[in-house]
């Protein structure tokens, strides 16, 4: 048996969550839960290929979809109603359902079960009717499939379908000269499908939204046996007087568009469509999804979460026709009064009338509660009394409908003389501007202002550097003046400090006076005989090629009189390491940051996990070398010294495991067989505790290599189970190298699963966690995992729901 898909389970959970008080009354009175527990499974509906299953998550953008096969598949195209958007273009929602023909494997068993439950086990004619109507419930659905239709002379693709085998596309309809109430038919191309009728409705006027079950069709939705009998065995029966009432509404309100809203699943579309065609005006059917794997889902669709479902679909209709006045018609068996009351609260100007049929004579229904005046008063407490009415006989509504204002105001007598001219020359709405023209203008408009903005930004930052490049001059120092090939030309006076004085300071200061400047744009440095001048000018030419905001352009100095200059560097080069020999005063406050002194032998240790950890280090150095090792230009000496110190310690501390050898004359650091340790060296160390999750089977290197705080918690909240939680303890050591003075910070990490700790270890863990201050607890994510970790350590049972882990102690 196939497992129920996640979408089906989510839909069932959503229906139970959305179950209203009226739904609970209906299901309790009819004993629906006990009846549904015995209903047959429909697992074969979800037997589709792996490709279709996986690619269906991509929705309409799925590039791996398949076309519906005319030989093996069939498609239902649901009738729809077209509306006009703000640009005057006609659009409509196209819904298609895809099935595999005759793929239901358990049809005979399900037919026998239904026949027995409704008391028709010996009626062969009734069994044929039941089998015909049950077949769409058992045929396999087709996700990731599409169908092409001929939409007003254009080939248009619908789909691909989603995981429920349904595609929903909101498409523009070619053409613009459609009349209000006009209907066109579209057909599939190369596939077996029902014809699709599209009704065009203008933005203003009256409209009707009607429930189906027990409003216009006898369904007995308060009885599970009654639902099965009227749906699968009997011919559909209209409510007495309702077809005539709907015809009167069509005549009185000038053929308004109709929507038929039902909680029935879309598998009943052909059955309900034929019933509507026989008795009621044309309109769009809004049916419910059927992502369930047992026949009990059919009853749950009709009786669970109906109020929330109808609210959602009515809000969708409001998006299409916000300016029409709607008449809402329902019944008292389900949550129609409550749903319509909520709709009026959201869209009070949108509702023109609400009519509720009072249903009686259903044995399993608690009529006292369902038809009580208190229920209706509560449901419609925000609705004006004159807008809603509860009726039992449809004849009561004729006067109510006649009292509704017409959708089009009558023409005043003074303008009647213009009526003939209007009939001869009817006004035609101008064709809306094509959307691609508006889009082109919008793109050009944005591009123009983007260009203007870029020019303004460049002018601001370059500060005039966009003008023609001026001649660039360099001022020669005094000691190069006499050797200049252009001596005497373009002489300027400036105070210029000599960058590299070759003589004494007194002589150099005496030569700061009239110095030569020369145009470097016309000087060929290769032809200059003096190598010093050639090198100087080459450097100045390099600087002149830099952008204007990088150069240090001091001009001719006339704008900067009396500027002081320095003959030595103002700032000395900062050294990152303290040179050997300088006195260093150790801080006496190292204990304030949790440090303590230990011997040198505690620096590097080897235990039984050394091999695994060494393998993890080798993986990190191979795969993530650039992220693990970063050396600054002034740290190479410290790295070499660190290597020597590590080799010295390991050879002396573990002579049975480490030694120095020379192989194939390769250059190695020569280290004696015995290297005494410097016992006078003290280390500063501290221990830090972290909690992290490790729900998968990634290598040990991934467990150690943590770059960001979020990497401590891979997976999701459901990963906070005790067996997935790691207690990570890092022993951090600080040591100063004797030669370079560099500070070496090393970490030895121990990891244990929370479930591996003994009772004493768990008690110590809880004590340490509770000793953290608020800042440390926030930094280590205490609020995320404290309930799971502390609850487990204190012996509380933890259980997992869909989203989180909760301990039983709270």
pLDDT tens digit string along 433-455? Answer: 567 787 888 899 999 999 988 88
pLDDT at residue 698 greater than cutoff 90:
no
For residue 297, name the pLDDT band (cuts at 50, 70, 90).
confident
- Tell me the CA distances in angstroms from 292 to 297, 552, 556, one per residue in order: 6, 76, 87
Q: What is the model's pLDDT at position 331?
A: 94
Q: How many CB atoms lie within 10 A of CB 268?
A: 23
**CATH classification (class only), 45-103+139-202:** mainly beta
Instruction: Work out the mean pLDDT of the chain and round it to a whole number.
Output: 76
Buried b (16+ CB within 10 A) or exposed e, 40-57: bbbbbbbebeeebeebbe
pLDDT value of residue 602: 67
Higher pLDDT, 603 or 284: 284
Return the half-sphere exposure (C-beta side, CA atoms, 13 A cut-off) of residue 70: 5
> Can you tell me the mean pLDDT for 635-660?
75
Helix 306-320 / helix 21-30 crossing angle, nearest 10 deg:
130
The pTM is what?
Answer: 0.52
User: Cα separation of 326 and 348, whole Å?
Assistant: 11
Percent above pLDDT 90 for the chain: 28
pLDDT tens for residues 706-732? Answer: 666 666 777 666 667 888 888 888 877
Report the range of poorest mean pLDDT among 278-282, 389-393, 711-715, 729-733: 711-715
pLDDT in tens, 473-493: 555 555 555 555 554 444 443
CATH 3.40.50.1000 domain extents, the chain: 1-30+204-408
* Residues 6+ away with beta carbon under 8 Å from 740: 577, 580, 637, 638, 641
pLDDT tens digits for range 597-608: 666 666 777 666
Say which CATH topology domain 1-30+204-408 has: Rossmann fold (3.40.50)
676 compared with 639, residue with greater pLDDT: 639
pLDDT greater at residue 79 or residue 627: 79
CATH 2.60.40 residue window(s) in the chain:
45-103+139-202
Where are the alpha helices (H) located in 514-673, listed in sequence order?
Answer: 531-544, 610-623, 625-628, 636-653
Q: For 108-251, where are the E strands, in sequence order?
A: 145-151, 154-158, 166-172, 183-189, 196-200, 206-211
Reported confidence tier of residue 741, pLDDT bands at 50, 70, 90: confident
Query: Does the pLDDT of residue 461 top 70, yes or no?
Result: no
Taking only the tens place, the pLDDT of each residue in 146-188 is 999 999 999 999 989 988 889 999 999 998 889 999 999 999 9
d(Cα 691, Cα 699) in Å, to the nearest integer?
A: 18
- pLDDT category at 618 given cuts 50, 70, 90 is confident
Phi-psi region of 330 (alpha: psi -120 to 50; beta: other; left: phi over 0): beta
- Averaged over 621-641, what is the pLDDT? 73
How high is the pLDDT of residue 608?
65
**CA–centroid distance for 552 within its chain:** 50
């Amino acid at each position: 048996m196939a497992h129920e898909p996640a979408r089906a389970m989510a839909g069932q959970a959503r229906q139970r969550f959305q179950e209203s008080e009226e739904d609970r009354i209906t299901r309790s009175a009819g004993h629906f839960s006990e009846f549904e527990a015995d209903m047959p499974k429909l697992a074969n509906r979800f037997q589709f290929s792996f490709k279709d299953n996986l690619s269906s998550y991509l929705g309409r953008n799925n590039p791996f979809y398949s076309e519906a096969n005319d030989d093996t598949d069939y498609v239902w195209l649901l009738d729809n109603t077209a509306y006009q958007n703000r640009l005057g273009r006609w659009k409509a929602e196209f819904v298609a359902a895809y099935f595999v023909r005759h793929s239901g494997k358990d049809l005979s068993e399900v037919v026998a079960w239904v026949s027995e439950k409704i008391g028709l086990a010996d009626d062969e004619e009734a069994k044929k009717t039941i089998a015909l109507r049950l077949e769409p419930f058992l045929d396999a659905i087709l996700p990731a499939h599409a169908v092409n239709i001929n939409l007003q002379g254009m080939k248009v693709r619908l789909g691909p379908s989603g995981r429920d085998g349904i595609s929903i596309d909101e498409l523009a309809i070619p053409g613009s000269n459609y009349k209000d109430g006009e209907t066109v038919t579209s057909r599939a191309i190369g596939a077996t499908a029902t014809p699709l009728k599209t009704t065009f409705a203008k933005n203003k006027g009256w409209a009707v939204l009607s429930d189906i079950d027990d409003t216009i069709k006898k369904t007995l939705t308060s009885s599970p046996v009654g639902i099965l009998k009227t749906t699968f065995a009997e011919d559909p029966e209209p409510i007495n007087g309702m077809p005539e009432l709907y015809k009167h509404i069509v005549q009185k309100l000038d053929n308004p568009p109709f929507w038929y809203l039902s909680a029935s699943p879309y598998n009943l579309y052909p059955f309900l469509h034929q019933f509507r065609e026989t008795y009621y005006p044309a309109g769009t059917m809004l049916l419910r999804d059927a992502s369930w794997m047992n026949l009990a889902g059919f009853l749950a669709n009709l009786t669970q979460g109906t109020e929330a479902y109808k609210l959602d679909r009515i809000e969708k209709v409001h998006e299409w026709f916000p300016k029409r006045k709607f008449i809402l018609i329902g019944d008292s068996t389900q949550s129609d009064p409550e749903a319509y009351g909520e709709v009026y609260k959201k869209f009070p100007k949108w509702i023109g009338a609400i009519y509720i049929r009072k249903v009686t004579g259903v044995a399993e229904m608690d009529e006292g509660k369902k038809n009580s005046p208190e229920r209706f008063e509560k449901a419609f407490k925000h609705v004006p009394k004159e807008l809603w009415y509860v009726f039992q006989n449809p004849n009561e509504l004729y006067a109510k409908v006649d009292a509704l204002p017409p959708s089009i105001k009558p023409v005043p007598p003074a303008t009647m003389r213009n009526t003939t001219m209007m009939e001869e020359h009817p006004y035609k709405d101008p064709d809306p501007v094509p959307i691609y023209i508006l889009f082109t203008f919008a793109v050009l408009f944005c591009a123009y202002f983007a260009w203007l903005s870029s020019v303004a930004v460049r002018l601001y930052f370059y500060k005039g550097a966009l003008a023609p490049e001026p001649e660039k001059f360099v001022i020669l120092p005094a000691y190069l003046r006499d050797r200049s090939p252009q001596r005497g030309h373009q002489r300027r006076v400036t105070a210029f400090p000599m960058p590299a004085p070759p003589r004494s300071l007194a002589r150099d200061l005496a030569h700061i006076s009239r110095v030569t400047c020369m145009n470097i744009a016309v000087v060929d440095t290769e032809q200059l005989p003096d190598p010093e001048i050639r090198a100087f000018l080459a450097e100045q030419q390099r600087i002149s090629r830099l952008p204007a905001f990088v150069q240090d352009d001091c001009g001719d100095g006339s704008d900067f009189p009396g500027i002081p200059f320095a003959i030595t560097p103002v700032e000395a080069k900062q050294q990152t390491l303290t040179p050997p020999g300088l006195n260093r005063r150790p801080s006496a406050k190292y204990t304030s940051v949790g440090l303590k002194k230990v011997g040198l032998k505690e620096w590097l240790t080897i235990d039984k996990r050394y091999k695994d950890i060494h393998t993890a280090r080798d993986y990190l150095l191979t795969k993530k070398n650039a992220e693990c090792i970063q050396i600054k230009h002034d740290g190479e000496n410290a790295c070499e010294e660190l290597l020597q110190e590590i080799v010295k310690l390991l050879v002396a501390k573990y002579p049975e495991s480490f030694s120095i050898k020379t192989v194939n004359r390769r250059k190695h650091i020569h280290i004696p067989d015995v290297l005494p340790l410097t016992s006078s060296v003290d280390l500063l160390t501290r221990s830090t505790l972290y909690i992290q999750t490790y729900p998968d089977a990634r290598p040990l290197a991934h467990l150690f290599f943590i770059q960001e705080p979020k990497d401590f918690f891979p997976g999701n909240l459901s990963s906070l189970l005790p067996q997935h939680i790691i207690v990570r303890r890092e022993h951090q050591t600080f040591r100063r190298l004797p030669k370079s003075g560099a500070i070496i910070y090393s970490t030895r990490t121990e990891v244990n699963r929370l479930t591996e700790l003994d009772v004493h270890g768990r008690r110590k863990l809880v004590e340490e966690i509770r000793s953290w201050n608020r800042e440390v607890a926030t930094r280590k994510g205490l609020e995320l995992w404290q309930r799971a970790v502390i609850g487990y350590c204190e012996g509380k049972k933890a259980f997992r729901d869909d989203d989180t882990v909760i301990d039983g102690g709270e």
